[in-house]
Structure 1
């Protein structure tokens, strides 16, 4: 009985809770219904107001155009009346002359006929010769001109009047977006392009947060570009090698809607090999992206001691890095004897191989791979077929990582509290290597980088 009672009490508690939830839900629905009524009344009132304004504009235009028509009529009739008066005057003169001529012809007395006919004959001859002057010119354009009433365009506009709603969300086309080391050009499309008055672009640095609603509500960290009229925009002044979150907002008088978020990233800072830092027995290509060791100067015996720092067959990148995230790759070719890493720009050339506290390198010595810093070295696992080495320098998060870029494999990460600007360094003791810079940070590197950040935060 106790068990049944407890079960009933639990069920009753759940039912009461459920009932309370339903009451809250119903109250919200009633509130929404009331808001719909209020909004509908507001829209209806606005419709009447807008239509009354349109009717008033049409009434005013009708009155103005009617006045112009009447003014045109008065002007034309005035000109035509003047021409009629001229015609009447000419007609009266001609009629009087005809009458005089006819009377002269009826005169039987020869002397009097000659006396009256001489004067009349001269006037008739002059009138006949100047008939074009006597008869006024009739200008038909005085009655018919190019004035016309054409409201076809306005009719189409009026027929297109509709209940305006906020535009549909635009869509960011990631496949069309482009980037450099400090810019991103965002492209988007919109189904309601003709109803959109402007777009607004919003962006912030992506920190790995997956709750976009919470991220979007943290307005302090967002940069906003308003009043964009085209469906693309280039953002300048971004951090290199950094991932950003972008939203596009389509706006018209009725409201706005946001696109889905897009994660876009800048490329890394591009650089080349600096010839001024290169060893004299290294050959640099014309584009300063490839360095080759002069094999004739290489001794037949290779010793770990030689590799560990007595030689300085290296060159540095022509960039000083003191912030941001940077990624580059090294095509190793057939080289089996090299050291790749970073060093403080104040470090001597012959100490770029990790033998002091100012340099950090990943090295290969024949079949051994190792990392070295401050004279301490540690063997690491890497494939003997390693041909493409990825280097990620995250200066702001104090890390330097190396990857097998072909196989998306993480090799090693140094955790470094950087104190000074650093330069990329490259040393070889055989063959050649090629530098690829200005690359975007690969997705597999992003994953490892964020994991390391979480470990550091813990």
Structure 2
């Protein structure tokens, strides 16, 4: 063994001695404790893929309940992520869809309920994945549920010229909200681009033509129809109206409804009519017969149609109280119809028939009033 001593200046009063050993044990590190800790670690596995139980899922009252299971119990699952997307296509999702996935996170149970939905597509697709505190698993196979809701728009092209139609809202305009559009159309067709000489040179297939139904309703028939007919099944929609409207009506009509006909004044329409002119009244009308209804005027009205059974019912949309039922036999398709004078209203579509309405219809099937009783 070799030793070396170095003595520093007296001011430091230090001495440094370097030594070397044969086994170099002083340079060894003991990792035994860390090795034990690493061996004691337990890594979380990737969660298994859930399976959605289609037969147990429910679509009712504009709510959807989705239920799923795991291949085997896993106590390490922390939460689930559910995604849903609207679609008009049945079956597996396509590569390109019109609507994005909507995400619901932090679900702790093996089911989840979506409430307050408005169905503007025929179907809705779901998928779910499980997550633990470390990693998320794979999404389940997507499933598609049918919504069974009635969706329509208002046909502004055929509405009365004094009705201002915007999407599903309508306002009566004394200055003629539609007249301005008609004048613009006339000015456009009178321009040199649409002169008779120029039109004569154009192909008949491309010749400009006025939109059909521009004068569909006139005079005091302040009416607007939906753009979708009802020719089968059970349908439901709601309408919220201004109670201060001088007059308002909601119901259904045949497509043959006359351009001068007010709702309920002929055999081609059935309606509930609110009159605030001189004296307030609420009546059921059909074929120029009326029946006064002894019920409070609601803020919104629900309309139910069972085409095969010939049933048209009106409800207080908030309380679900039955206001009136027409019993008839529809020989032709009917279409949602609305009328307003000096007022406004808005329509809510994409609604399923409420379960309380369906059960009430079964109970009242033998006691409902009919149009034959109107006086």
Give the alignment's TM-score, normalised by structure 2: 0.49
Greater fraction of residues in helix: 1
Structure of greater relative contact order (alpha carbons < 8 Å, 6+ residues apart): 2
Give the alignment's TM-score, normalised by structure 1: 0.40
Larger Rg: 1
Greater fraction of residues in strand: 2
